[in-house]
Amino acid sequence: MLSEGTSLREDILILKQNRRAIILAHNYQRNEVQEIADFTGDSLELSRTASAIDCDVIVFAGVNFMAESASILSPDKMVIIPEIGAGCPMADMIRVDTPRLERKRFPGFDNPPPLIYPVRFTLRDIKAQYPGVPVIAYVNTRADVKAESDICCTSANIVKIVESLSDDKVICVPDRNLSIWAQRNTKKKVIAWDGYCHVHERVKPEDVEKARREHPAAVLMAHPECRLDVLEMADHVTSTSGMLRFAKASSGKEFIVGTELGLMYRLRKENPDKAFYPLRKDMICPSMKKTTLKSVFRALKENKYVIKVPENIRVPAKKALDRMLGVS
Ligand code: 13P
Ligand code: SF4
């Protein structure tokens, strides 16, 4: 029950203080959730914060792989995700050893495509196909996939991570668009997985043409989870926080934003003199929007829902995350 006479926001702030809790929110969260958070950022910034922060409780307003990463990096803290159903469909497109789809409906594994592996295979299949080739797991993966990988990456650092490895061939999972973007920016061979983010995948070159016609003076920023044909039409390709930095530093006054609409809140708040237009008005991630002030309150009040990664997965997964944090 909420206390009488105080607002939900005030109740959250009181509970937060009493419990020595910190609220981390991804840039795609609802405006009011971003507003109450102690830190808002992209996946890389939030991982860094989760590994360094001094508190007893972390409330992670985001999706489940993010809360898992916080728990992996800070096992001594209680990590709570306010909405247990907030998952990332792309992260679920790769499994360690149980195929996501019935394999018998498809031909065998004898003749895999040269570059992009269909999601009917498993991480262990692709590792067996390329023994010794390092696996880079996008942070948008579950903890067990990270535990089976050599190093993690985010959209902010993938090229740097690929370049940091001494091997001339790397496996990148699970986002094919991010992997193709990395391939575009490195001489190494990138073996990709066929996963994708449904929010970014839906953007087509026609959307770019339409947005450019409507806003001819605007600078177009796109997230590397978009398709390559879209990225090639953009003026700047970067992560969510990369867009915040770019828009602030740019002399441009108008921007077309090619990512989830939650980012608009900070873009507009931090740049009141500039105009921001969505590349598509339906770039909304339902999982990211599940968390509300009510669920943040319940998280703090009732510990709903605690995320704890088992040690046998946490330790190797932390190695992959730490290795990434060491590079970037
Ligand atoms: P970044 O914030 O790292 O750009 O990530 C985008 C994303 O899709 C997170 O789910
Ligand atoms: Fe996953 Fe895309 Fe939603 Fe991010 S925006 S959580 S990648 S579905």
pLDDT in tens, 229-272: 999 999 999 999 999 999 999 999 999 999 999 999 999 999 99
Q: 296 lies in a domain? A: yes
For residue 283, how far is its CA from the centre of ligand 2 (angstroms)? 10
Residue with tokens 């997230």: 223
Q: Kindly report the three-state secondary structure assignment for every residue of the chain.
A: CCCCCCCHHHHHHHHHHHCCEEEEEECCCCHHHHHHCCEEECHHHHHHHHHHCCCCEEEEECCHHHHHHHHHHCCCCEEECCCCCCCCCCHHHCCCCCCCCCHHHCCCCCCCCCCEECCCCCHHHHHHHCCCCCEEEECCCCHHHHHCCCEEECCCCHHHHHHHCCCCEEEEECEHHHHHHHHHCCCCEEEEECECCHHHHCCCHHHHHHHHHHCCCCEEEECCCCCHHHHCCCCEECCHHHHHHHHHHCCCCEEEEECCCCHHHHHHHHCCCCEEEECCCCCCCCCCCCCCHHHHHHHHHHCCCECCCCHHHHHHHHHHHHHHHHHC
For residue 39, how far is its CA from the centre of ligand 1 (angstroms)? 15
Domain of 181?
A: 92-196
CB-ligand 2 contact for 136 (6 Å cutoff): no
Residue 76 pLDDT class (50, 70, 90 cuts): very high
CB-ligand 2 contact for 86 (6 Å cutoff): no
pLDDT at position 100 is: 67
What CATH number is attached to the domain comprising 12? 3.40.50.10800
Are 267 and 300 members of one domain? no
Q: How far apart are the first and last CA of the chain?
A: 43
Instruction: List pLDDT tens digits, range 32-41.
Output: 999 999 999 9
pLDDT (average), residues 1-20: 84
pLDDT at position 117 is: 73
For the question of whether the overall pTM of this predicted structure is more than 0.85, the answer is: yes
pLDDT at position 139 is: 97
Instruction: List pLDDT tens digits, range 91-125.
Output: 999 999 987 655 444 344 444 443 577 777 899 99
Q: Which ligand is nearest to the CA of 174?
A: 2
Are 76 and 125 members of one domain? no
Is 46 a residue whose pLDDT tops 50?
A: yes
Are 14 and 99 members of one domain? no
Are 132 and 182 members of one domain? yes
pLDDT at position 101 is: 58
Are 112 and 176 members of one domain? yes
pLDDT (average), residues 285-298: 98
Are 102 and 177 members of one domain? yes
CB-ligand 2 contact for 171 (6 Å cutoff): no
Is 43 a residue whose pLDDT tops 50?
A: yes
Residue with tokens 């019935």: 102
Separation of alpha carbons 274 and 276, rounded Å: 7
The region of weakest confidence among 118-132, 150-164, 241-255, 301-315 is 118-132
Are 299 and 262 members of one domain? no
For residue 6, how far is its CA from the centre of ligand 2 (angstroms)? 34
For residue 105, how far is its CA from the centre of ligand 1 (angstroms)? 33
Q: 324 lies in a domain? A: no
CB-ligand 2 contact for 90 (6 Å cutoff): yes
Residue where a domain terminates, one of 163, 196, 229: 196
How many domains would you assign to the chain? 3
Are 156 and 189 members of one domain? yes
Q: Which ligand is nearest to the CA of 87?
A: 2
Average pLDDT for the chain: 93
Count CB-CB contacts under 10 A for residue 108. 8
What percent of the chain stands above pLDDT 70?
94
pLDDT at position 285 is: 97
